[in-house]
Structure 1
Amino acid sequence: MNKAELARYIDQTTLKPGNSEEFVTAFCEDAKANHFASVCILPNMIPTAAKVLKGSDTKVCTVISFPLGFDAPSVKIAECKDALRLGAEEIDLVMNVSALKSERYDIVDEELEGVVKASHDAGAIVKLIIETPLLTEAQIVKACELAEKHGVDIVKTSTGFSAMLPRSTSVDDVKLIRKSIKPTTGLKAAGGIRTTADTLAMIEAGATRIGASAGKEIVDGL
C-alpha cells in the first residue's frame, strides 16, 4: 500500500465544539490536498466544509446524535435530514446503545429505517456507530445484524470519546464486526487510532475506513 492508497481510507476528523469557521476551512483545505476519503465535522460546520470540498474527491461527513446517541428516532431523523439539506454526503449516526442493551430493538429499527431512507434518498451513505467498548460480543453481533437489516453502508466501531468509554477500539472489535457483516458492507475503525501502525493493524483486521484526527501524520508515517 502506498501513501495515496492509505489516504483514501481516512475520514479526517475534528469534532471539537470550539472549532471556528476559519479552523474548519483550513482543516478541509488540508484534507482536500491530501485526498482523504472524507472530513468529519460537527453539523454546524457542514456549510463551511461543503463550500471548501465542493468538486473534490473528499466527502463531507457529519455526526448525528453525537456522542451519546440517546435522542428519539424522530429527532435523529430530523437532524439527519437537516444535515443532508446543508450538504452532508456521509452520515455517522450514533446508535441508541442503551436501547440495544435493553433489547429494545424496535427503537434501533425505527431510527435506522428513517435515517437510512433519508440518506439514501439524498444519495448519501450511512455509517452506524455501535460503540463497541460498551457492548458484549453478542451485542456487537446483534448491532451488526440490525445494521444489515436496514441497509447501513458502513458499521463504525466507536465515537472515540474516551472520557466516557472504558477502552479504545481494539483489533478484536474490528475482526468481530468483519465476521458479522457482509463482505460488501464497509467497516470504519475509530477511537484511539493515532499511528500508522495502529491504522495498518485495523486495515489488516478488516477496516475499510479509519476515523482519525491525525490523518496526515498517519499517511506520512508509511
Structure 2
Amino acid sequence: MREMTVETLSYAQVAKMIDHSLLRPELTPAEVVAGCELAARYEVASVCVKPCDVELAAQVLKGSSVLVGTVVGFPHGSHATATKVFEARLAMEQGAAELDMVLNIGRLRGGEAGYVLEDIRAVVEAARAGGALVKVILENAYLSDEQKVLGSRITEEAGADFVKTSTGFAPGGATPEDLRLMRSSVSPRVQVKAAGGVRTLDALLEVMNLGVTRVGATATQAILEDFKARKAGTAQPAEKTGLQSGY
C-alpha cells in the first residue's frame, strides 16, 4: 500500500477523514453552532454531537456536505438495549446520519459475547431502517487484547460499519498497537475509526497509514490549516507529533 503523505493526499481526502467532535458536556448551544459552522467551512466528513444537539446541528449543516452524527449509549455503553434502539431512532428522526454507539463494556469483559452481539445488532437493524451507518466504540482502555479482538469480531458479525477505539472520556485513547490489532481482526468491509489522541496532522497521517479511515478530532482547524500550509510549502519546520496520550 502506498504511504499516505501530504504530497500524496488531497485536501478533500484528509478533511473527509475527520468527524469533528462536539461532545464535551459543557458545550453551549452557541458553541455547538460555532463548531458546526467550522465543520462546514472545512468540509469535514461529519460532526459528532450530543443527542440533545442533533436537531440544532442538522439545521446549521443543512445544504452542506457535512453529515450529522451522534452517540448512542454514551459514554459507558450500559444503557438497556431498548434504550439504545430508541436513542438511535430518535436521532435519525432528528437528522443524524451516523451513530457512534458504545458496546456494553461490562458484558464484554464478563464474557457475555451473545449479549453484546444482540445489543449491537439491535442498533444496527434500527439504523439500517433509517439509512444511518453505525460505528461501534469498544473503549479499549478497559479491555485486554483478547477482548479487543472479540469486540471487533462481534462488531462485524452484528453488521456494523466501523469499529472505533474510544469515547474520549476514558483513561486512554487510540494507540498504534490497538489500531493494528483492530484492523487485523475484521475484514475489509469494516472500517476503523481512531478517537482520542489524534490532535495533529502527523497523528492523522500516522493512523491513516495503519488502515484507519475516520478519526474523531477536536483540533480540526489546526490539523487542516497545517495540511494546507504544508501542501503550499509555507509551513514552518516543526517537530513531528504523532498520537498523544490523554485528550
Give the alignment of 1:6-21 within 5 angstroms: 6-21=14-29
Preserved contact between residue 165 and residue 173 of structure 2 (Cα < 8 Å): no
| CA RMSD in angstroms, aligned pairs only | 1.1
Moved over 4 A (4+): none
1:52 aligns to 2:60 (yes or no): yes
Preserved contact between residue 73 and residue 107 of structure 1 (Cα < 8 Å): no
Match of 1:90 among 98, 121, 130: 98
Q: Quote the offset at 1:78 in angstroms.
A: 1.2
**Deviation readout 1:86-119 (Å, 9 max, x if unpaired):** 1111000011111001011222122112100111
Q: Distance in 2 between matches of 1:68 and 1:44?
A: 17
- Of structures 1 and 2, the larger Rg is shown by 2
Q: Which residue of 1 aligns with 2:89?
A: 81
**Secondary structure at the counterpart of residue 62 of structure 1:** strand
Greater shift, 38-47 or 131-140, is seen at: 131-140
Q: What letter matches 1:151 in structure 2?
A: G
Identity %: 38
Match of 1:34 among 37, 42, 64: 42
Preserved contact between residue 46 and residue 68 of structure 2 (Cα < 8 Å): yes
Q: Quote the offset at 1:72 in angstroms.
A: 1.3
Q: Quote the offset at 1:29 in angstroms.
A: 1.2
1:220 aligns to 2:228 (yes or no): no
Q: Distance in 1 between matches of 2:81 and 2:113?
A: 12
Preserved contact between residue 3 and residue 220 of structure 1 (Cα < 8 Å): no
Q: Which residue of 1 aligns with 2:112?
A: 104
Give the alignment of 1:176-195 within 5 angstroms: 176-195=181-200
Q: Quote the offset at 1:57 in angstroms.
A: 1.3
Give the alignment of 1:74-153 within 5 angstroms: 74-153=82-161
Match of 1:23 among 31, 42, 61: 31
Q: What letter matches 1:213 in structure 2?
A: T
Q: What letter matches 1:137 in structure 2?
A: D
More helix by share: 1
Q: What letter matches 1:58 in structure 2?
A: V
Q: Distance in 1 between matches of 2:87 and 2:13?
A: 33
Q: How many residues align?
A: 219
Preserved contact between residue 118 and residue 158 of structure 2 (Cα < 8 Å): no
Q: Distance in 1 between matches of 2:83 and 2:189?
A: 29
Output the TM-score relative to the length of structure 1.
0.95
Q: Distance in 2 between matches of 1:69 and 1:100?
A: 10
Q: Quote the offset at 1:24 in angstroms.
A: 1.1
1:69 aligns to 2:94 (yes or no): no
Q: Distance in 2 between matches of 1:96 and 1:136?
A: 15
Q: Distance in 2 between matches of 1:160 and 1:75?
A: 22
Q: Distance in 2 between matches of 1:111 and 1:149?
A: 12
Greater shift, 88-97 or 18-27, is seen at: 18-27
Query: Structure 2: where are the runs of 5+ without partners?
Result: 1-8, 228-247
1:202 aligns to 2:207 (yes or no): yes
Greater shift, 131-140 or 84-93, is seen at: 131-140
Output the TM-score relative to the length of structure 2.
0.86
Q: What letter matches 1:200 in structure 2?
A: L
Q: Distance in 2 between matches of 1:131 and 1:55?
A: 33
